[in-house]
Amino acid sequence: MGPNLLNNYGQVIAMLMFVIGFANLLFHKNMIKKIIGFNIMDSSIYLFLAQMGYIKSHIVPIATDGAASVDQYINPIPTGLVLTGIVVSVSVTALMLSLCVRLYRRYNTLDLDEITTMLRKEGR
């Protein structure tokens, strides 16, 4: 273990969230719950990126008084990356949910195991 585990408590929380989402993906058979786990993983990534850009006692990069100095503002790049991540996550979630709706209409269940069993029974 390295020296900074307690200093980086925010990132530890982000990792905890990531693992919770990943466990959701692995343990649940219901696909809606899998999608929820996926979204928890996404949120943990945003938290991690926001933590990476944060610098203590620096403010948001909005230059209201016209001053431009690195010693004053936090890092703006992770903020932009979080924006990209949010947009992609919204699109992917909508896509996954619509596919779920189609699967439910076809098989009348959201359980992944039951769907695989039905597929095998049909001989595909």
Partner 1 sequence: MKNSDRIREWLLGDESLYYDTMAVKSQSINDEQAAVEEELIKGSLDQKEKTFDTKHNREIRTVSVLYNILAAVFVIFIFVNLLMCVSYLPPLEESQKAVNNEVSQRYIEKGLKECGSTNIVAGMILDYRAFDTFGESNVLFIATVTVLILMRNNRKKEDGAVSDPDDRRLEPKDDIILQKAATFLVPVIVMFGIYVIMNGHLSPGGGFSGGAVIGAGLILYANAFGFHKTERFFTEKTYKWISFTALTFYCLAKSYSFFTGANHLESHIPLGKAGAILSAGLILPLNICVGLVVACTMYTFYCMFRKGDF
Q: Is 19 in the site for partner 1 (CB under 8 A)?
A: yes
Q: Is 30 in the site for partner 1 (CB under 8 A)?
A: no
Q: Is 52 in the site for partner 1 (CB under 8 A)?
A: yes
Spatial distance between the Cα atoms of 72 and 35, rounded to a whole number of angstroms: 39
Give the DSSP letter string of 78-106.
HHHHHHHHHHHHHHHHHHHHHHHHHHHHH
From the list 38, 37, 40, the residue with the least C-alpha distance to 13 is 40
107 token code pair:
């098989």
Instruction: Give the side-chain half-sphere CA count within 13 A for 33.
Output: 12
Enumerate residues 60-99 that contact partner 1 by CB under 8 A.
Answer: 60-64, 66, 68-71, 73, 75-80, 83-84, 86-88, 90-92, 94-95, 97-99
Residues that bind partner 1 (CB under 8 A): 1-5, 7-8, 10-12, 15-16, 18-19, 22-23, 26-27, 51-58, 60-64, 66, 68-71, 73, 75-80, 83-84, 86-88, 90-92, 94-95, 97-99, 101-102, 113-114, 117, 120-121
